[in-house]
Amino acid sequence: MKELITLTTIKTAATRLTAHTHLTPLLTSTTLSTLLGPCPSTTTPRTLLIKAENLQRTGSFKLRGATNAITKLLESDPVGARQKGVVVHSSGNHGQAVALAAKRAGVPCTVVMPRDSPGVKLAAVEGYGATIVLCDRALTSREQTTQEIVDRTGATFIHPSNHPDVIAGQGTVVLEMLHQAAEMGCPLDTVIVPVGGGGLLSGCLVAGKSLLPNLRIVAAEPLLADDCARSVRANEFIPAGPPKSICDGLMSSMGTLTWPIIRDHVDEVRTVDEASIVKAMRVVWERMKMVVEPSAAVGVAVALFDEGFKAREGMRNVGVVVTGGNVDLDCLPWGSMK
């Protein structure tokens, strides 16, 4: 199924997104690069580069895939799209993104969300004019509620990750990273990408490996939601279990499109515990002065605190996708800031 998502479809998506998404910065931090540490055998300094998708419109990378999918839908069925609308299920970031993309395009949008979604995400989805339908957090509940809406209204379902146009849109992240890093004189040899449903990771794999076959792409995953790591080890798809991690944006399971791409092309999957995720999140807040959510800090946690990853030879310039910044400020993991 990889042929549905190619470098050509990703480059086409990048053209579509130009007027609708930010070119988010690729940032460096002396403190974070120091924490990554030098190359083990030569002590040559290494550089950590942060792709700040928390500064994207709607606060996450999800606007890329949502905008590409909505644009493609309007190209193929403009009347039906505006009459019947679209529906998604999302813990928040995908819902916000589709809600905004649909609003811009004049397409009605319904977002199915877990009842315990962060308040900031619920408020944002509502603010973009979408209709919210609440359900239980379990994936089966999200899918059942969404299907009932599709059956009743004829709305088009836009999956948060297992959708070729969404994947192509997300893959534009690594196109930008590689170009920006080269312009900075820090060509990337390694990219760390968080993985939940796998839309971002699979898009980055297709784009990155097509442009630079030797580029090392590492998936980052919470230890308490490690279905990707377990699947890769077993070489067979293992669905996500009940959610346990602080990373609410990484609770989705891989799908029929994303899993084969990840299985065949990811170089490694690294897992990190909750304490490391919170520590990484705080480092980014304190040292880079950026608001990032727990799911976005997983890749940073791998780069800074995973000793097995840091000990690998051959890494000089490491890029990390920081995926979003939609944090419920009343629920900060290190305590109240009130």
d(CA 176, CA 15): 12
Tell me whether the CATH fold assigned to 2-60+164-331 matches the one assigned to 62-157: yes
Contact between residue 274 and residue 222 where contact means Cβ atoms under 8 Å apart: yes
Name residue 126's amino acid. Answer: E
What residue segments make up the domains of the chain, in order of their start? 2-60+164-331, 62-157
Per residue, the 3-state secondary structure of 234-298, as one string, reads: HCCCCCCCCCCCCCHHHCCCCCCCHHHHHHHHCCEEEEECHHHHHHHHHHHHHHHCCCCCHHHHH
3-state DSSP call for residue 309? helix
Could you tell me which residues come within 8 angstroms of residue 72 by beta carbon, excluding any fewer than 6 positions away? 165
Q: Active-site residue 252, yes or no?
A: no
CATH number for region 2-60+164-331: 3.40.50.1100
Residues 6+ apart with CB under 8 A from 189: 214, 215, 216, 314, 315, 316, 317, 318
| Among 51, 62, 72, 121, the one annotated catalytic | 62
Q: Which CATH number fits domain 62-157: 1.10.3720.10, 1.20.950.20, 2.40.30.270, 3.40.50.1100?
A: 3.40.50.1100
- Return per-residue pLDDT of the chain as tens, 338 residues: 446 899 999 999 999 999 999 999 999 999 999 999 999 988 899 999 999 999 999 999 999 999 999 999 999 888 888 999 999 998 778 999 999 999 999 999 999 998 887 777 788 899 999 999 999 977 788 889 999 999 999 999 999 999 999 999 999 999 999 999 999 999 999 999 999 999 999 999 999 999 999 999 999 999 999 999 999 999 999 988 776 899 988 888 899 999 999 999 999 999 999 999 999 999 999 999 999 999 999 999 999 999 999 999 989 999 999 999 988 777 666 554 34
Please confirm, yes or no, whether 253 is among the known catalytic residues. no
Q: Which residues pair with 55 in a beta bridge?
A: none
| pLDDT of res. 336 | 47
CA distance 26 to 319: 9
DSSP string, 6-71: -HHHHHHHHHHHTTTS----EEE-HHHHHHH---TTT----EEEEEEGGGSGGGBTHHHHHHHHHH
Contact predicate 279/292, CB 8 Å: no
Q: What distance in Å separates the CA atoms of residue 177 and residue 27, rounded to the nearest whole number?
A: 10
Active-site entry in 91, 202, 253, 276 = 91
Judge whether 155 and 84 are in contact, CB under 8 Å: yes
Residue 331 confidence (pLDDT) = 66
CA distances from 313 to 226, 281, 282, 283, 297 (A): 25, 26, 27, 25, 23
| CA-closest candidate to residue 174, choices 284, 257, 61 | 61
